[in-house]
Structure 1
Amino acid sequence: MLTSAIAIGTSIAALVGRASALDSGVGKLPKLGYNTFNAFECGYDADVVLSQAQAMKDLGLVDLGYNSFLFDDCMTEKTRNSKGRLVASAEKFPNGLKKLTSQLKKLGVSSSAYSDAGVQTCAGYPGSFGHEAQDLESWEAWGFDYLKYDNCYIPFDNVTQENVYGRYKRMSDAIAARAAKKHSTPFQFSLCEWGWQQPWVWARQLGQSWRVNGDIKPWWSSIASIINTASFISSTTDFYGRNDFDILEVGNFGQGSPQGNMTDDEEKSHFTAWALLKSPMLISANLTNISSSSVEVLSNQDLLRINQDPHVGASISPFRWGINEDFTFNETHPAQYWTGNSSYGVVFMVLNTLDTVEVMSFNLTESWAIRAGRLYDVYDMWSHTHNGTAYRNVTVTLPPHGVAALLLNDAGPEEAGIEPYCAGWWQCSWPNGTYYSN
């Protein structure tokens, strides 16, 4: 059997059906941008914000669509003023947040706020419980249009008389009410619930994205664990509502890694998975001191256009787990073979979860999006090259924790008379009803 070989150098419940998305006019596509927290935690100020935004512009990232800047936790004073309003940190932002967000806007970058459904944020700053409408007014006045909403310091049950859904609904309702009152575009709402209560089931009724895992770390074991989670819930992502797998860690070399910093191949795998899973992608690295190889990963236009596909909102999903039986929950070795559709062709992601170089193969018709009996042009979205025509099978050689991101397009019918007559021969039948035997 002919094979197209492409050398590449380098407990959750069962699948959940897709529900109707909350189309409030914002958030049709995943958000691209920057997040301060993993790179700077609370140690950011106006100078850091401007330097990172300027670097986004200078590196060409803004032009590629990374046009949002998220001020994560710690952007206010520790107490509200006498009227109960949030107060921007005077030490961090001596000229005020409105001036700073205006400066970002001149660079082509919008501004995103952070808060919490509890009484405090995770870092101990004022949360928005009981102040939802009031805080929206402040953020809007400061120039924000997007909200990441965390889940720390929950009030007692006899105070809230709500579960997590109700606490997040308070802010969702406030966003909708303010937009209706002002006849304005509503805030985009990103729920940071951490996946404890299966937000992929209910959160699309409230906002445009929802976190499904704990905080990401800049090392491979964390990335693999999140991809494992994704393999069971990928079908719940579509236009106006998507799983959020947390910050994009490309270029962020954190301290305390159990395995060392991510390799170039691991960064590619991380970026590929987030892009093709249609996750929001917010960079969290010091862009003034980032390697050229990391910038190259972040700048992959072939993968970005799949993430930002205006006609197909669904993400890739596994069609075979590989080294594990299908639907195996394994945080170290998640599903390896993934596929999905796009405006540009049929998408495949092949992921080597092992610590050794591996030769990996799949039959084209394992993908629901492939037409049987056809040849396919194979485009490699990392080398940006056309690598010949695939006949029924594709084989790739991948480095440890490496990835192949392939785009296949119909190249015409197979030649007549080639056996076996069906790629899945065990289902193949002669016209008289006799099964074909290979």
Structure 2
Amino acid sequence: MGWNSWNTFMDKIDEKTIMETADAMVNQGLLKAGYEYLVIDDSWAERERDAEGRLKVNYTKFPNGMKAVADYVHSKGLKFGMYSCAGVRTCMCYPGSFGHEFQDARFFADIGVDYLKYDYCFRPALADGPMLYNRMGMALRAAGRDILFSACNWGKDNTTEWIRSTGAHMFRSTTDIMDSYQSMKNIALSQLSNLPYTAPGCFNDLDMLIVGLHGKGCMALGADGCSDIEYRQHFAFWCMLSAPLMIGADVRDLSPDTLALLTNRELLAIDQDPEVRPPYIHGQALQRPECAQEHIVLLKHLADGNYAAGYFNFGDQEANIPSEFYNWGIDISSGCSLQFTDVFTGEDMGIFRDFYRARVPAHDCRLYKVRLIWTGRPASRQL
């Protein structure tokens, strides 16, 4: 959990902005909620390395050097992240780390970096993903500092088959998210076949959050972004999949509603649940994902013995989305019922023994904490 500069600032980053962001993460309660990493994305370096092949910090943007920035971020109780690329150039055409992996890993360690985002632009034609990411994974392990390795190869080269072997702690399985509902929806639906691949030690990264952007920054595609309801669906879906939560909005200027969503304790507990179990897809979507383009129900086992149930309406019309508990493994004759509590409002929705139907507006969701109740006697079928 943390914040990344790209979605709002793209290449327009500087020392003052980063320090103000660190202050805001603390003052807004984001650090207290668990957002501990502050990550500077692409465009912090000079265009070329020095005579010894070392990366050079852009002192126009960071006049006191990157070590001073890292020290300031650490002084706030945050962890500090930076960016590089597996190719010869970064995506913005700054020096990449190909051929300099061990040198660059030591550079990051000396600065005090705790997190490295490692992109996939301008890779040599004959170099494949497993080799490129394993090189940096080995370099980081040899650098003498504990650095979270965030592999960002956009799901290319069958990432899920090999990424854990590289030492990566999280991996991108998607293209870049844009601040539009269709972009978020496409990414969400693409993950129905990737649910098993998140696990402790190596998490499936669905890309940074667009929550709160509202058309600001570099990911808006000339539009106004999403509505607050659409951002809520986006955030809830990421939480149900135990995805890394990297804020992309300007945290110095978050609305009260955006801040409340990002710091919702029940939602964050679902995302950060220590068992990291993938959700079970209810009903038809389990056998035929191509049929689940509008209405999806997910059930997630939680470490405390309870469950999270999410009802997602990706369609353009309000819908009643049903779930029969038989499909969750609870037969009507079992003597068990389920108690539903709304995660967003805290409202007790009641106890149900056969099915639950959620009324969900277009582009919205309903998310519940679900508790199994044992009555000790079979129940008659609910009509």
What pairs with 1:11-410 in structure 2 (closer than 5 Å)?
Answer: 32-157=1-126, 162-178=127-143, 182=144, 184-185=145-146, 187-206=147-166, 207-254=168-215, 256-257=220-221, 260-310=224-274, 312-321=275-284, 326-328=288-290, 333=293, 336-344=296-304, 345-368=306-329, 372-410=334-372
The alignment of Structure 1 onto Structure 2 pairs a total of residues equal to: 377
The answer to whether the 8 A contact 1:220-1:259 is kept is no
1:359-394 Cα shifts (integer Å, max 9, x gaps): 111112322589943012211111123221122111
- CA distance 1:291–1:391, shift in 2 (3 Å): same
Deviation at 1:417, TM superposition (A): 5.5
CA separation in 2, counterparts of 1:167 and 1:416?
58
- CA distance 1:177–1:370, shift in 2 (3 Å): farther
What pairs with 1:405-424 in structure 2 (closer than 5 Å)?
Answer: 405-413=367-375, 415-416=377-378, 418-419=380-381
The answer to whether the 8 A contact 2:282-2:323 is kept is no
2:362 maps to a residue whose letter is: P
The answer to whether the 8 A contact 2:116-2:150 is kept is yes
The answer to whether the 8 A contact 1:35-1:72 is kept is yes
1:34-83 Cα shifts (integer Å, max 9, x gaps): 00001000101011111112111111111000010111001111111111
2:246 maps to a residue whose letter is: L
The structure whose Rg is larger is: 1
CA separation in 1, counterparts of 2:212 and 2:148?
27
1:401-425 Cα shifts (integer Å, max 9, x gaps): 11111111122227546148xx9xx
Deviation at 1:335, TM superposition (A): 5.7
Deviation at 1:352, TM superposition (A): 0.6
Secondary structure in 2 matching 1:63:
helix
CA separation in 2, counterparts of 1:404 and 1:195?
29
2:315 maps to a residue whose letter is: L
Q: Which runs of 5+ in 2 are unaligned?
A: none
Q: Which runs of 5+ in 1 are unaligned?
A: 1-31, 424-438
CA separation in 1, counterparts of 2:208 and 2:381?
48
Deviation at 1:219, TM superposition (A): 1.2
TM-score, normalising length from structure 1? 0.81
CA separation in 1, counterparts of 2:93 and 2:112?
23
CA separation in 2, counterparts of 1:169 and 1:336?
36
Greater Cα offset, 253-262 or 240-249: 253-262
- CA distance 1:169–1:416, shift in 2 (3 Å): closer
1:113-165 Cα shifts (integer Å, max 9, x gaps): 110000000001110001001101111111101111100111242xxxx3221
Q: Which runs of structure 1 show a deviation greater than 6 angstroms over 4 or more consecutive aligned residues?
A: none
Greater Cα offset, 367-376 or 262-271: 367-376
- CA distance 1:266–1:414, shift in 2 (3 Å): farther
- CA distance 1:40–1:259, shift in 2 (3 Å): closer
Deviation at 1:329, TM superposition (A): 7.2
1:280 maps to a residue whose letter is: P
Deviation at 1:263, TM superposition (A): 1.2
Deviation at 1:277, TM superposition (A): 0.5
CA separation in 1, counterparts of 2:365 and 2:221?
22
Secondary structure in 2 matching 1:144:
coil
